[in-house]
């Protein structure tokens, strides 16, 4: 082999080695702050007196092993994504009337352009006791509210970079996960991970009653939605990893912020899945359906938030199923990602 041929061969060989090492680094970087959740089988569904109809029937589900973020995606992590891609979230864009009217009764008149300005839903405490059947008493549409301005245009996240990112729609979460080389968890994966390897626990930490668990999760103590005694140390969101992890090393799977799952929401999902003796790696229904809001396309959210308590939503229970429209952002909803073993 001539000298110049040896140089070219050596250069190609080194390039090949460096590329392989680079790929290993990339793959390893994707697993930073993730833990391996060993696959297994569990009885999916309601397991307490607080269980709701959409948590039944209990049925057997098997999931394969996967990696999961140890905590919710933070403001800092989401900022890195935005800086790298220039991404603009749903809450930062004007409302699309052509899409919005599909979710409203037929012949609903178009509102003024001012109503369609960018914004998001923000929680505000009421002045006293109110009926818990009317959520509009504590949720308000705030123009200028988004992930960078969680309470409105005069607020910021300068001192909340280690808090979960909020005001993100399902679409925002999906795009972040894709950029990070990950994906959103299926509802079955989320519940399996939240159980932490325990047999039929009520909460991610076990069966200790929520009223005795102010050191285990960020939730609403006191009387919702007007009095929060803040026994857990935070009135609203808390920094990630503020409380003990579950047995898999996962933080905040109960309380803090709701977390988007991949699945479309259907109140009859469990009825459909229970027709099989064993449901393997379910990906959710093909059609979204909620009899209370049949016009909305909804996705599953899990885990509860700083607004949950036993008088209201009990979202911190591992079997609790909730949903919201996929194009909606709220100041108590975020997400975390997962990654399959095969990439």
List strand residue ranges (DSSP E) for 28-128, in order: 34-37, 40-44, 59-63, 66-69, 119-123
| Average pLDDT over all residues of the chain | 90
Contacts of 264 (CB under 8 A, 6+ apart): 284, 285, 286, 287, 288, 297, 298, 299, 300
Specify the pLDDT at position 131: 95
- Residue 31 has what pLDDT? 83
From the list 296, 295, 307, 302, the residue with the least C-alpha distance to 322 is 302
Q: Which of 74, 89, 99 is nearest to 174 (CA)?
A: 89
Beta bridge partner(s), residue 59: 44
- Residue 184 region by backbone torsions, left for phi larger than 0, else alpha for psi between -120 and 50, else beta: beta
The answer to whether 162 and 320 have CB atoms below 8 angstroms apart is: no
pLDDT tens-place string over residues 250-289: 999 999 999 999 999 999 999 999 999 999 999 999 999 9
Q: Where are the domains of the chain?
A: 1-30, 36-340
Could you give phi then psi for residue 330, rounded to 5 degrees?
A: -140, 160
The number of C-alpha atoms within 13 Å of 34 and in the hemisphere containing its C-beta is 25
Q: What are the tens digits of pLDDT across the range 141-172?
A: 999 999 999 999 999 999 999 999 999 999 99
What does 111-156 look like in DSSP terms, one character per residue?
Answer: --GGGGSSEEEEE---SS---TT-GGGTEEEEET-BTTBTTSTT--
Query: If we measure between CA atoms, which residue out of 220, 242, 221 comes closest to residue 74?
Result: 242
Cβ atoms of residues 321 and 299 within 8 Å: no
The dihedral of CA 294, 328, 127, 304: what is its sign?
A: positive
pTM of the model: 0.89
List the one residue out of 83, 251, 288, 68 whose CA is nearest residue 164: 251
pLDDT of 104 = 76
* Fold classified for 36-340: 3.90.1580
The rounded average pLDDT for each run of 10 residues, N- to C-terminus, in the chain (343 residues) is 34 36 45 95 95 97 98 98 98 86 79 84 96 94 97 97 98 98 98 96 96 94 96 97 97 98 98 96 97 94 97 96 96 98 85
pLDDT at position 112 is 75
- Distance separating alpha carbons of residues 41 and 281, to the nearest angstrom: 10
**Interatomic CA distance for residues 308 and 181, integer angstroms:** 32
């Amino acid at each position: 082999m001539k000298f110049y041929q040896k140089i070219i061969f050596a250069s190609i060989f080194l390039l090949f080695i460096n590329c392989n090492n680079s790929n290993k680094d990339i793959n390893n970087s994707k697993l930073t702050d993730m833990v391996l959740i060993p696959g297994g089988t569990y009885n999916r569904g309601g397991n307490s007196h607080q269980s709701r109809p959409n948590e039944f029937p209990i049925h057997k589900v098997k999931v394969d092993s996967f990696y999961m973020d140890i905590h919710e995606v933070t403001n800092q992590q989401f900022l890195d994504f935005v800086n790298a891609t220039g991404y603009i979230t749903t809450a930062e864009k004007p409302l699309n009337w052509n899409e919005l009217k599909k979710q409203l009764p037929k012949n609903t008149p178009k509102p003024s352009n001012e109503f369609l300005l960018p914004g998001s839903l923000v929680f505000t405490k009421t002045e006293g006791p109110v009926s818990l059947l009317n959520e509009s008493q504590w949720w308000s549409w705030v123009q200028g509210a988004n992930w960078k301005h969680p309470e409105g245009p005069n607020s910021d996240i300068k001192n909340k970079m280690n808090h979960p990112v909020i005001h993100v729609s399902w679409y925002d979460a999906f795009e972040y996960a894709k950029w990070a080389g990950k994906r959103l968890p299926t509802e079955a994966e989320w519940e399996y991970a939240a159980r932490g390897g325990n047999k039929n626990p009520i909460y991610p930490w076990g069966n200790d009653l929520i009223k005795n668990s102010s050191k285990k999760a960020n939730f609403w103590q006191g009387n919702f939605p007007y009095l929060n005694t803040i026994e857990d140390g935070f009135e609203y969101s808390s920094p990630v990893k503020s409380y003990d992890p579950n047995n898999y090393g996962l933080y905040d799977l109960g309380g803090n912020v709701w977390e988007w799952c991949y699945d479309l929401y259907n109140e009859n999902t469990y009825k459909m899945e229970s027709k099989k003796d064993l449901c393997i790696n379910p990906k959710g229904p093909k059609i979204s359906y909620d009899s209370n809001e049949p016009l909305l396309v909804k996705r599953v959210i899990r885990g509860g938030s700083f607004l949950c308590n036993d008088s209201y939503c009990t979202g911190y229970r591992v079997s609790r199923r909730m949903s919201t429209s996929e194009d909606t952002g709220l100041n108590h909803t975020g997400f975390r990602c997962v990654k399959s073993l095969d990439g």
